[in-house]
Amino acid sequence: MGIFRFLWRGVLAFDRIGRRIPQLVQIWLVEFLFAIPLTFFIAKVIDIRGAFGVPGSDESLGGAFWGALAVSLVCGFFFVKSLVRPRLVKTTWTPTVHADIGPVTVYGGNRAWSVEYDYLTSHPSYILLHGITIWIPIVMVWMTVDRGDDVFYWKVAGYVGLVVLALVALTRLLTWYVFRLGRGQLDARLAADSPISARKLSWEVAWKPLLMLLVLIYAFSALPVGYMWWKELRTIDELPVVTAEDGTDHVGEYVRVEGELAGQPIWWAPRGTGRGGNNFSGAGVLVNLESGGDVLLLAESLSVPDFVGVMKKVRGGVGGEVKTHGRVIDYITEDQEQYYGFDADDFGEPPTDGRVMVLLEYP
């Protein structure tokens, strides 16, 4: 049991995390409700006015965004107050020690070295809480990659969110290390004869518990997601390479597409290209296969960004190497013609070695 107590208290610092959960939730929630609503408001203002070559939406700023600004200002007041007039929080920490008794190593807390440690609500360790919030703007940026300007608001919101969170973190750092607001009262409370240095206490009581909390959160979320992503990549690597004959024998099966770009891609937008003129509902391109014949690679609306990404990876233009994957189809449906604009006639007659159609999809 001693080794588990050592891991729980000495290595993982979970005992200090448990005592601080209510305060951590409070600080995280205040900064979350300050940064995220402000992000949405600023992004909407930019979206209405237009920027970076994208025309504005020319719509009015709705009540929801004014409400978001109001929430942000209220929480911003409490955020600034916590930095300008930080509160002292007291906690007790007992360092864990170990001793070898024969072949057995015994772990335990050294109560003689127990210390009361005061820290401020403006402590820079709270920046680590942004490791939870930051995924909101990151996902916004990620989901708009290679998409048209119809999603300009969400793209701007992602970048604005990253900037706002960075400024919040910078403000906390400046308050602590440059302006040193409240540091005088903290230094006066630290015992000069403490057996533990102030730097060691700051690490064990402030930085380490928050760091371990993030490790715990990421372990439960990132590891399963990372495993699924790795498994998907492995599944794609194990797919067979498509041939021109697969259009009759392997319809509905997933394949890898490897070959040389045979021409420029064609873009379709049956309902118009929308804002910025770059919102396409479908796309297609011919790829010459090493085994003979070619493949007509098609992408429906939701796969067009992936299609754009595939084209960006082709070096040297026509004749460059294409590597992707998809599902073999034997004909274009009426819905695909109507909603995505698919038209095989745009690519001319198939070569004598044959042509197979592949719809860009993930297995």
Residue 48 lies in a domain: yes
Lowest mean pLDDT among 67-81, 210-224, 249-263: 210-224
265 and 216 share one domain: no
For residue 209, what pLDDT is reported?
Answer: 81
- Which of 161, 196, 231 represents a domain boundary (last residue)? 231
189 and 324 share one domain: no
pLDDT above 90 as % of the chain: 66
Residue closest to 340 by CA, chosen among 303, 306, 285, 294: 303
Name the residue with higher pLDDT: 131 or 9. Answer: 131
For residue 237, what pLDDT is reported?
Answer: 95
283 and 209 share one domain: no
Residue 237 lies in a domain: no
- pLDDT category of residue 8 using cuts at 50, 70 and 90: very low
Residue 330 lies in a domain: yes
182 and 42 share one domain: yes
The total domain count for the chain is 2
pLDDT > 80? residue 107:
no
**8 A C-beta contact, residue 308 and residue 282:** no
Mean pLDDT of the chain: 86
For residue 14, what pLDDT is reported?
Answer: 53
222 and 305 share one domain: no
For residue 118, what pLDDT is reported?
Answer: 66
180 and 214 share one domain: yes
Max mean pLDDT among 5-19, 53-67, 96-110, 215-229 falls in 53-67
Say how far apart CA 246 and CA 358 lie, in whole Å: 10
169 and 250 share one domain: no
pLDDT > 50? residue 210:
yes
149 and 271 share one domain: no
- pLDDT category of residue 348 using cuts at 50, 70 and 90: very high
207 and 257 share one domain: no
Residue 236 lies in a domain: no
Residue 69 lies in a domain: yes
3-state secondary structure the chain: CHHHHHHHHHHCCHHHHHHHHHHHHHHHHHHHHHHHHHHHHHHHHHHHHEECCEECCCCCCCHHHHHHHHHHHHHHHHHHHHHHCCCEEEEEECCEEEEEECCEEEEEECHHHCEEEEEECCCHHHHHHHHHHCHHHHHHHHHCCCCCHHHHHHHHHHHHHHHHHHHHHHHHHHHHHHCCCCHHHHHHHCCCCCCCCHHHHHHHHHHHHHHHHHHHHHHHHHHHHHHHHHHHHHHHHCCCECCCCHHHHCCCCEEEEEEEECCCCEEECCCCCCHHHCCCCEEEEEEEECCCCEEEEEECHHHHHHHHHHHHCCCCCCCCEEEEEEEEECCCCHHHHHHHCCCHHHHCCCCCCCEEEEECCCC
150 and 92 share one domain: yes
pLDDT above 70 as % of the chain: 81
Give the pTM.
Answer: 0.84
For residue 7, what pLDDT is reported?
Answer: 44
Name the residue with higher pLDDT: 203 or 126. Answer: 126
For residue 72, what pLDDT is reported?
Answer: 97
For residue 310, what are the domain limits?
246-359
226 and 189 share one domain: yes
For residue 22, what pLDDT is reported?
Answer: 74
Please give the average per-residue pLDDT across 265-286, as a whole number: 96
Say how far apart CA 81 and CA 71 lie, in whole Å: 16
Please give the average per-residue pLDDT across 126-145, as a whole number: 95
Lowest mean pLDDT among 24-28, 49-53, 97-101: 97-101
Please give the average per-residue pLDDT across 32-56, as a whole number: 96
38 and 156 share one domain: yes
* CATH assignment of the domain containing 309: 2.40.50
Residue 239 lies in a domain: no
Please give the average per-residue pLDDT across 317-340, as a whole number: 95
For residue 186, what pLDDT is reported?
Answer: 66
- Which of 198, 231, 264 represents a domain boundary (last residue)? 231
Residue 240 lies in a domain: no
Residue 345 lies in a domain: yes
